[in-house]
Chain A
Amino acid sequence: MEVKLEVVVGVIKSSITFIFLSIGLLAYAQNDSISVYKKKALESTEVDFLMGYYEQEGVHASVTGGIGNEDLHSTAPTVVIRIPLNDDDVLTVDAGLSAYTSASSSNGNPFNQTGASGSGDDYDVDNDKPMRKSGEGSPWVASSGASRKDVLTSISMSYVHASDDRNLYWSSNIAGSFEYDYQSFGFGGGFTQLWNEKNTEFSAKVLVYLDQWKPIIPTEFHEFEMYGNDFLIDDQSYFYEVSLSDSDGNAVADYLPSNFTSIDDVNRNSYSVSLEFSQILSKRLQFSFFVDYVLQRGWLANPLQRVYFEDRPNFYIGNFRSISNYESPSNTDVFHLADDIERLPRERAKFPFGVRVNYYLNEFMVLRSYFRKYSDNWGINSNTVHFEIPVKFNLKWKIKPSFRYYDQTAADYFAPYNKHFSTQKYYTSDYDLSAFSSLQLGGALVYTDVLSKYKLGKLSLKMISLRYQNYQRSDGLSAFSVSTGFSFVIE
């Protein structure tokens, strides 16, 4: 009996030992499996070099009140670096420049074909005295002062933290950008939650931009602001001893932009909430739904943009014989002095929502589509439709033809050149706020190197992209952009 009992106790002891060992092994195996399957949020540092060139032509320059030369050229080099700080955290640095020359903005001072201040420093408003007294400006001729060009410098940094199961991502970011007459500082944060075996995703993001103007105003208002009602007779003013005429070419001396008041609030703040919902619908089909709410407050008009009133007499400077030809591009030597700068409400609420649907047609083709509706409290409603069909030739090469249609209604405050009334509270002749539709056709040629066999020092090439887009707007604006991008990984 005692022997039997010892055997039973022995068996129980062995069983307990086995169970504990098993649990221990199981727990070890579980821990091991977690460490094995925890994929890094980003495997290695990635670097993208981008270069974009944009060119446009048009006949509705906003700086000269809705008519004039809109030629613009912009070159924008950018670098984006994504750095894995550890298994869970990724830091992204995005820095770029955008250098542009613009016929429209050059005509803040249209009278300086030989250099407004002698030094060409059009921005130094205190010294911004055109040397020539002939005043041979025209909205159709680009002026040569410094405001014809500027450089936008921008930098942003974002930090993303991924949870261990890779179902939750927290992010925060800061951004800054600087132009001569404008600067912006932004910050924000958000999260992304995945569930349903990573078939469903929800993101929320909040962003705040605190921007500030360093206002540059057109020459006639600058002189009026400096010398008051005597700005036509003060010997320090540009307009001293300069001949003005009315619409019939008769000499006059009673031009007074009395609607003009100085800009008292140089701030422009933007607050936005962005929500995104993504869902996989099948092995080949997925979509995203985006909705933003953006509230902008502060000086939302552009201080450099002129406005002309229909109910006020017209005053010209330059060759009076060209007045009858003023609205034609052949006018090169007469300029219409403005009645005021653009005035817009101090608040704007924007409400865009969009859907992106992607379908994997077959191993050669994917259909990418995007639709957006937009409305704001300035009376603008718009629709956007965008299709792109990437076509693969082989594992390395593909082309991506694309088509985009856009339309919008005009802002409540828009009217063309010389069609506003002085009794209005708000007015603009900026054709970006007019009613129009646009068509964009283009495509990209993409080279993908899956094995990264081409090296540049420590950089291994992953992808090259060359894009071209042609953009035609129904108001006559015509533009194209060419961009190229190189993606590398650092091994």
Chain B
Amino acid sequence: MIKELFTNLKILKLKKIRQILILLIVLVSSSSCVAVKEYNKVYLNDLDMELKTPLFERFETTFHIYREAAAGANGGKTGGGCGCN
């Protein structure tokens, strides 16, 4: 199982994965640069600044999963539950 997983990862271009890892390292290191205090998060706490996909958008996400081949990477559903695709 693990061997096959890595074989598939190879197919999905190791170069791309390396780029993502580099990006992740840059992102993690960027975290040490900034620290906005709780009392300064008024704008960030606005409902529209939420980084998750809002609940009320779920019907659109559902029909995208049906009608498009790509899915995932949005904090939402990654598979299962429908025979449509």
Interface residues of A (CB under 8 A from B): 48, 50, 52, 54, 56, 76, 78, 80, 98, 152, 154, 175, 177, 179, 181-182, 184, 186, 195-200, 207, 209, 211, 213, 270, 272, 274, 276-284, 286-296, 302, 347, 349-354, 356, 358, 360, 366, 368, 370, 372, 374-378, 380, 382, 384, 390, 398, 400, 406, 408, 411, 432-433, 438, 440, 444, 448, 465, 467, 469, 471, 473, 477, 479, 481, 483, 485
Contact = CB atoms under 8 A, between A and B. Distances in A.
A182 B83 contact: yes
B18 interface: no
B11 A377 contact: yes
A272 B74 CA distance: 13
14 contacts: A52-B58, A54-B63, A154-B81, A207-B80, A276-B75, A375-B12, A376-B69, A382-B70, A408-B70, A433-B69, A448-B47, A465-B56, A481-B59, A483-B56
A213 B81 CA distance: 11
A411 B73 contact: no
Contact of A406 (B23, B57, B68): B68
Contact of A270 (B55, B69, B80): B80
A98 B85 CA distance: 16
Given A366-B49, A380-B70, A76 B11 contact: no
Given A281-B34, A356-B51, A485-B56, A294 B67 contact: no
A368 B56 contact: no
B74 A184 contact: no
A186 B80 CA distance: 7
Given A280-B44, A283-B44, A360-B44, A302 B37 contact: no
Contacts of B16: 351, 375
B31 A207 contact: no
Contacts, number: 223
Contacts of A290: 72-75
B9 interface: yes
Contact of A432 (B62, B68, B79): B68
B46 to A, nearest CB: 6
Nearest to A388: B48
Given A211-B80, A374-B72, 17 more contacts: A50-B58, A175-B81, A182-B82, A186-B80, A199-B35, A272-B79, A274-B72, A294-B78, A347-B4, A347-B8, A358-B49, A377-B8, A406-B68, A406-B70, A467-B57, A479-B67, A483-B56
A408 B68 contact: yes
B38 A198 contact: yes
Nearest to A287: B51
A195 B69 CA distance: 36
